[in-house]
Amino acid sequence: AQSVAQPEDQVNVAEGNPLTVKCTYSVSGNPYLFWYVQYPNRGLQFLLKYITGDNLVKGSYGFEAEFNKSQTSFHLKKPSALVSDSALYFCAAGGDKLTFGTGTRLAVRP
């Protein structure tokens, strides 16, 4: 069965420091991988996707994600966190269907 795991419920980081939000997946065949962000009282907003090609994917707002096939991971990264990055982040994997992780709350302190 297809699954997506986000092992951390919350990630805390200081403004200006690098951030990583972890995601691992289990999908048969080649996966389509996505990151979404959700701000309070808003819908999920698409950040970036990996379909094929370069393992490092760049997305909106300075975010990037690294696809690692051997570790079946797709971690979200940003070199320098902003307080405004504080939100709920969802990883999703598509194969025969789209599966979302349970979300990771990112808190960036000033």
Partner 1 sequence: DSGVTQTPKHLITATGQRVTLRCSPRSGDLSVYWYQQSLDQGLQFLIQYYNGEERAKGNILERFSAQQFPDLHSELNLSSLELGDSALYFCASSETWGSRSPLHFGNGTRLTVT
Total residues at interface with partner 1 (CB under 8 A): 20
Q: Locate 63 and state its tokens.
A: 């975010």
Among 25, 63, 89, 90, binds partner 1 (CB under 8 A): 90
Please state the closest distance from residue 68 (CB atom) to partner 1, in A. 20
- Which letter, b or e, does each residue of 49-68 get, where b requires 16 or more Cβ atoms within 10 Å of its Cβ? bbeeeeeebebeeebbbbbe
Indicate the helix (H) or strand (E) that contains 50: strand 44-50
By CB under 8 A, residue 42 contacts partner 1 = yes
Among 1, 28, 29, 41, binds partner 1 (CB under 8 A): 41
Q: Locate 2 and state its tokens.
A: 């297809």
**Binding stretches for partner 1 (CB under 8 A):** 32, 34, 36, 41-46, 49, 51, 90, 94-98, 100, 102-103
